[in-house]
Amino acid sequence: RLKDLEVPKLGDSDVHVKMLAAPINPADINMIQGTYPLLSPLPAVGGNEGVGEVLEVGSRVTALRPGDWVIPADAGLGTWRTRGVFPEELLLKVPGDIPVLCAATLSVNPCTAFRVLADFESLAPGDSVIQNAANSGVGQAVIQIARASGIRTINVVRDRPDLPKLVERLMALGADHVVTEEMLRKPEMKDIFKSTPRPRLALNCVGGKSTTEMLRHLQPKGTMVTYGGMAKQPVMVPVSAFIFRDVRLRGFWMTQWRKEHAQDQQSVAAMMDALCQLIRRGQLTAPACTQIPLQDYRTALEASMKPFVSSKQILLL
């Protein structure tokens, strides 16, 4: 429901924020459904991501001032609102010279893409990565961050009516190859590996058959990182992949990474700085977005749950 609430009184360590824009991500929907590992105490405001402008700060707030742009430092902030009063430590300052949609979609997908590319394999220019759900928010960020680092991407998408249009869009972002899940099983995949080395890293956001097929193309001793499960099916791995190719299976959850690095502000700052630099240079753009006023939130929620949606719904606040 859309409700009118009083804005709480500003405490000494609090920040009064006017929200500007907030996306609808799959994890937000899962939280509303009660199926996500992190659930806010009810009654709760939805939304884990977004950008706002500081209106006023408490007397003890040192790092922020009115006019600054801020994003959530962690999940569960409740960003689908016009105003909010939050403790200073729950907010991260971001530069005000990046596009508002980039700032609104910065803290979840680009950060996930950045970490999965950096933390599991030491990739060098010329190496390759294979990923499914390549048209997702993380997938689009992986393509662009990899391209900026000289890493090639093999991008797997589901077959769909407007496939040529989607392929064109991903190639324009910097994808090296775009294939459908069906193509993963075909002998023609060998042609890709004439010009591109077999990947040392596979990124899985789907699960089920798509993952098993993707794993076949991974180099021996390669790593597959699972960060999502859109198909709601388990990851199936042939025993031979473990024994004869010694592949590694890992998991990644951005919320957990933030918890583990809560005291390591240097790592967080370095990541945000690197992403903002890419945005400024035009090497990292916001995912394809549909902007919807907050009062039409029902339309936005319904649209975000439709299959084959390649556009992220963004609530304008």
**How many whole angstroms separate alpha carbon 179 and alpha carbon 119?**
26
**How many whole angstroms separate alpha carbon 50 and alpha carbon 21?**
6
């499914």: which residue's tokens? 132
Residues with catalytic function: 36
- Is 106:94 a contact under the CB 8 Å cutoff? yes
The residues, ordered by sequence, that sit 6+ positions from 171 with a Cβ below 8 Å of its Cβ are: 178
- For residue 234, cis peptide bond before it (omega within 30 degrees of 0): no
For residue 137, which of 259, 316, 313, 282 has the smallest C-alpha distance?
Answer: 313
Q: Are strands 51-57 and 69-72 parallel, antiparallel or unpaired?
A: antiparallel
**How many whole angstroms separate alpha carbon 162 and alpha carbon 169?**
11
- Is 187:162 a contact under the CB 8 Å cutoff? no
């048209």: which residue's tokens? 135
State whether residue 257 is helix, strand or coil.
Answer: helix
Cα angle vertex 111, ends 105, 116, to 5°?
140
Q: What is the dihedral of CA 159, 160, 166, 171, to 10 degrees?
A: 10
Q: List 251's β-bridge partners, or say none.
A: 226
Q: Are strands 91-94 and 152-157 parallel, antiparallel or unpaired?
A: unpaired
For residue 218, which of 110, 120, 291 has the smallest C-alpha distance?
Answer: 120
- Is 245:218 a contact under the CB 8 Å cutoff? yes
Amino acid identity for residue 40 in this structure: S
